[in-house]
Amino acid sequence: MEVYSDPRTATGDPRFCYSSRPMALFAKDSPPPPQPRPMPRPGEPQPVFEGTFFGPNVVVEGNVTGSEPVLIEGTVKGTIRLTGDLRVGTKARIEAKVHAKNVMVEGKLTGDVTADDRVELVAGCTVDGNIKAPKIIVAEGARFRGSVDMGSAKPTLHDAASVLKKG
């Protein structure tokens, strides 16, 4: 039974117009309607980042904390402490003490950086501060001034066991 809003096309009470044909909405042989998708603009890069984004016009003075990936293209002055990854974009200007799971620097960062897993300095970036991480990648063309400590940022079970044996 199909419901019509035009009383001229159906029989019965004009408030409830019915037809004996099955509704297209519930018919098993009709394909689902196509889902609309926004069209990308020509030459525009496709978004690949999922997490929190600080745009180039955003200025943060204070503490940034969180548990999801963060991409910063703006300015941050203070501290950044994340359990997720941090990406310092090409337009970013960071003056902060940084701690995150992984840190990728493409812009300018002034301050000490600690990563639980890895720090990556991309060609064209500038880092002025000390880095502590188990893995460090420095691309040709990256500028870095400071010291590097490749000891584990977090104590491991092996470290804890050796302390217990000594004590």
Beta bridge partners of 123: none
Domain membership flag for residue 82: yes
Residues 119-143: tens digit of each pLDDT: 999 999 999 999 999 999 999 999 9
127: amino acid identity, one letter: V
Name the average pLDDT for the chain.
80
Q: Specify whether 18 is located in the same domain as 90.
A: no
Question: Across residues 62-82, what is the average pLDDT?
Answer: 96
Domain membership flag for residue 162: no
Q: Specify whether 18 is located in the same domain as 82.
A: no
Domain membership flag for residue 22: yes
pLDDT of residue 51: 87
Q: Is the pLDDT of residue 2 over 50?
A: no
CA distances from 143 to 74, 139, 147 (A): 20, 9, 13
Percent of the chain at pLDDT exceeding 90: 59
Q: Specify whether 23 is located in the same domain as 59.
A: no
Domain membership flag for residue 110: yes
CA distances from 96 to 59, 83, 114, 121, 165 (A): 13, 16, 11, 16, 38
Q: Is the pLDDT of residue 27 over 90?
A: no
Percent of the chain at pLDDT exceeding 70: 61
Number of domains in the chain: 2
Domain membership flag for residue 4: yes
The Cα 149–Cα 142 span in angstroms is: 18
**Other Cβ atoms within 10 Å of 113 Cβ, number:** 26
The Cα 133–Cα 157 span in angstroms is: 17
Q: Specify whether 18 is located in the same domain as 99.
A: no
Q: Looking at mean pLDDT, say which of 51-55, 93-97, 153-157 comes out highest.
A: 93-97
Q: Specify whether 1 is located in the same domain as 79.
A: no
> Where residue 155 falls among pLDDT bands split at 50, 70, 90?
low
Tell me the pTM. Answer: 0.64
pLDDT of residue 3: 47
Q: Specify whether 60 is located in the same domain as 118.
A: yes
Domain membership flag for residue 99: yes
Domain membership flag for residue 44: no
Q: Is the pLDDT of residue 50 over 90?
A: no
> Where residue 60 falls among pLDDT bands split at 50, 70, 90?
very high
Domain membership flag for residue 49: no
Q: Specify whether 13 is located in the same domain as 74.
A: no
Q: Specify whether 92 is located in the same domain as 135.
A: yes
Residues 100-111: tens digit of each pLDDT: 999 999 999 999
Question: Across residues 85-107, what is the average pLDDT?
Answer: 97
Note down the domain range covering 6: 1-27
pLDDT of residue 151: 79
pLDDT of residue 36: 63
Q: Specify whether 22 is located in the same domain as 65.
A: no
Q: Specify whether 59 is located in the same domain as 129.
A: yes
Q: Specify whether 80 is located in the same domain as 18.
A: no
The Cα 143–Cα 154 span in angstroms is: 26
Q: Specify whether 23 is located in the same domain as 91.
A: no
Contacts (Cβ under 8 Å, ≥6 apart) of 12: 18
Q: Is 128 exposed, middle or buried (0-12, 13-18, 19+ CB in 10 A)?
A: middle
